[in-house]
Amino acid sequence: MKRVRFAPSPTGSLHVGNALSAVANREFGDWLLLRIDDTDPARNVAGGEEELLRDLEWLGLEWDEGPVRQSGRRERHLEAAAQLGERFDGTTLVREDGTPTYHLASVVDDVDFGITHVIRGNDHRPNEAIHRRLFEALGASPPEFVHHGLILGEDGKKLSKRAEGATVASLREAGIPAEAARSYLEELGLPKHDVHYDLPRIRRLAIEAIGAMSDDELAERAGAPAALVPALRGARDLNEARDYARSILEPDPVDLPEASRPTLERFAELLGANAEAHALIRELKAVGGDLKTVRLALTGRERGPELWAVVQALSREEALRRAQRSLPQR
Ligand code: GLU
């Protein structure tokens, strides 16, 4: 049985590189411990743990034990330090203020929780040697260490937390469906070398994820009534879907010029004749109607969902009302 752990520090929303470690551990391990590495008070951020738990839940990541906070295991860490000394092989194990360092706490916890595989980013490769020696000094056999490549930004350096889409929270806020973010991380797997962050790939996966959603699911996740779903289908992310829904449900009123009247009168006639939405748009176009005018009248915008789907989503009365109110009153 492969026993693994994901051990983030509670520094706020997860960086996608950390999320990669989380997903890689979940995919690889049979049993996963979620450990909160809060040994360095200077790095702890208020609310940081809640944020990262929310991110993991959003990604659909489940763990088998935890969250275990390292701060709650201080006694045990110091007991181990008493056995090893405050410094070991030139490495500080206990700070001057008496708190255990990352190296001490991490290895003691890995021993106590029977971790068999440590899977983490390349940036921790330099820690492998000292960690191995600490395992041995504690009378335990070292686990297997797997260090995966980091996610890099455009500048070729570790992706900055401020870069676009660099945190799990920023992907969620951008309306990326969770399954698209998760698929991207699963596709990366355990990269041997560093990889460049591919936000366009995540955006393509978001389009696929929306395509795979049932009508009910899409309506629910966009917070829109089911009747609007055909209009939401062209959205590339959930924010765009919400925005499409808003443009149909609560359009900004527009004032169109007199020149728009012939198109909108023709539109009203076709509505009156109860034409089916696709046929109506086709017919309107065939007689030289200006579709942009209709779109503006119905949604208050120049761009948005497919026009037939907007027409289909509205009652005949509502469509007529919008067409009328956008024209100059005479
Ligand atoms: N808290 C460390 C980090 O987030 C954990 C490293 C490890 O997995 O040992 O980088």
pLDDT at site 23: 98
The domain made up of 216-330 has a fold known as Arc Repressor Mutant, subunit A (1.10.10)
Ligand 1 centroid, distance to 62 Cα (angstroms): 18
pLDDT at site 249: 97
Return the ligand 1 atom nearest residue 123 CA: 10
CATH number, domain 3-151: 3.40.50.620
pLDDT at site 45: 86
Percent of the chain predicted with pLDDT > 70? 100
pLDDT at site 40: 84
Ligand 1 centroid, distance to 21 Cα (angstroms): 9
pLDDT at site 76: 98
pLDDT at site 46: 87
pLDDT at site 17: 97
Q: What is the mean pLDDT of residues 203-218?
A: 98
Q: Which of 56-60, 194-198, 206-210, 271-275 is predicted with the least confidence, judged by mean pLDDT?
A: 271-275
Residue type, position 51, single letter: E
Q: Please report, for the chain, the start and end positions of each structural domain, with discontinuous segments joined by +.
A: 3-151, 216-330
Residues 6 or more apart whose CB falls under 8 angstroms from that of 297 comprise 254, 256, 260, 264, 267, 322, 323, 326
Identify the residue whose C-alpha is closest to ligand 1 atom 6.
7
Q: Is the pLDDT of residue 330 over 80?
A: no
Query: What's the mean per-residue pLDDT of the chain?
Result: 96
pLDDT at site 86: 86
Q: Is the pLDDT of residue 97 over 80?
A: yes
pLDDT tens per residue across span 13-66: 999 999 999 999 999 999 999 999 998 878 888 899 999 999 999 999 999 999
Residues 6 or more apart whose CB falls under 8 angstroms from that of 102 comprise 37, 39, 40
The residue length of the chain stands at 330
DSSP symbol at 35: E
Please indicate whether the domains covering 3-151 and 216-330 agree at the CATH topology level: no
Q: If DSSP codes are grouped into helix, strand and coil, which group holds residue 187?
A: helix
Ligand 1 centroid, distance to 7 Cα (angstroms): 5
Return the ligand 1 atom nearest residue 118 CA: 8
End-to-end CA separation in angstroms for the chain:
80
Q: Is the pLDDT of residue 187 over 90?
A: yes
Identify the residue whose C-alpha is closest to ligand 1 atom 10.
8
Q: What is the mean pLDDT of residues 252-267?
A: 96
pLDDT at site 139: 97
Q: What is the mean pLDDT of residues 233-248?
A: 97
For ligand 1, pick from 3, 4, 9 the residue to mutate: most ligand atoms within 8 Å of CB.
9
The helix (run of H) or strand (run of E) holding residue 120 is strand 117-121
pLDDT at site 44: 84
User: pLDDT grade, residue 329 (50/70/90)?
Assistant: confident
**Which tokens belong to 285?**
């176009």
- Output the ligand 1 site: residues, CB below 6 A: 7-9, 37, 106, 120, 124
Return the ligand 1 atom nearest residue 5 CA: 8
